[in-house]
Amino acid sequence: MPTLHSKILGEGQPLLILHGFLGMSDNWKTLGSKYEEAGLQVHLIDQRNHGKSFHSTEFNYDILAKDIKEYIAEHNLSNCIVLGHSMGGKTAMQLACSYPELVSKLIIADIAPKFYPPHHHEIINGLQALDLDVITSRTEASEELAKYISNAGIRQFLLKNLYWVEKRKLGFRFNLEVLAERMEQIGENIEASAVYNKPTLFLRGDKSEYISPLDNDIIKSHFPKAEIKTITNAGHWLHAENPKEFLEKSLIFIRN
């Protein structure tokens, strides 16, 4: 079984960070350094079909959770804190509910334990439209992607995945073919009976619609000890939009 790629920072209690859909561990390196400074051993992990980790046609939250279980065993970790954003949050929820003995605390960034209808079509269509046999720079790729995605920040986030496969040949780190086919599974919920009965923190962006007050009951049904806190001046990418408040609120939870 292939192993997940990661970057490990520092020493101390393990903090595993799981990125979102079409992201990678590198998205978290700035905050990861801050957690390292706070005395944690930070594991910035690329989930399968993302970053520098292996590609596979198998892709659902049970499998993603098992990947992290195997990662924990491989690195001989215990007493892990797990932080997941968006898709990574769903992986973290499933991991904690399926293998609660592995997770001491759980932090979920801007995602609820519910089904989300597929909503990444424009992004996937734009990425699929890029002809990487012709495009020779990130600037060119951004200009083409702008025909589908007007938000420059989202284009920049996506195009961090471009790399030189060989001289004059660009490719994506993520497995676009499989992720496009599995879009519906990205929105799937964790198992209906799943419960994690240890300390859990949900952080939502005040400008995001991913977690609403109507979700409080469903959150508490799966995570009875959950706290739900809001990050101000932040949308779905709350850790990037307000990293200072995200760090402060997560560290208070970790240290209590």
Question: 6-116+187-255: CATH homologous superfamily?
Answer: Alpha/Beta hydrolase fold, catalytic domain (3.40.50.1820)
Above 90 in pLDDT, residue 167? Answer: no
| pLDDT band for position 208 (cuts 50, 70, 90) | very high
Catalytic residue among 6, 86, 208, 250: 86
Query: For 191-200, what is the mean pLDDT?
Result: 94
What's the pLDDT at 237?
A: 92
Name the active-site residue from 37, 74, 177, 209. 177
Domain coordinates in residue numbering, the chain = 6-116+187-255, 121-181
Please confirm, yes or no, whether 177 is among the known catalytic residues.
Answer: yes
Look at residue 184 and tell me whether its pLDDT is greater than 90.
Answer: no
pLDDT at position 168, please? 81
Whether the per-residue pLDDT at 1 is higher than 80: the answer is no
Amino acid at 253: F
**Which strand (E) or helix (H) includes residue 214?**
none
What pLDDT digit, counting tens, does each position of 58-95 carry? 999 999 999 999 999 999 999 999 999 999 999 999 99
The reply to whether 236 belongs to the active site is: yes
The whole-chain average pLDDT of the chain stands at 95
Pairing of strands 6-9, 40-45: antiparallel
Q: Give catalytic status of residue 86 as yes or no.
A: yes
pTM: 0.95
Catalytic residue among 236, 239, 241, 250: 236
pLDDT at 207 over 80: yes
Read off the pLDDT of residues 115-143 as tens digits, 9 standing for 90 and up: 998 888 889 999 999 999 999 888 999 99
Contacts of residue 55, Cβ cutoff 8 Å, sequence gap at least 6 = 48, 49, 175, 178
Mean pLDDT (whole number) for 39-51:
98
Residue 123 φ then ψ, to 5°:
-65, -50
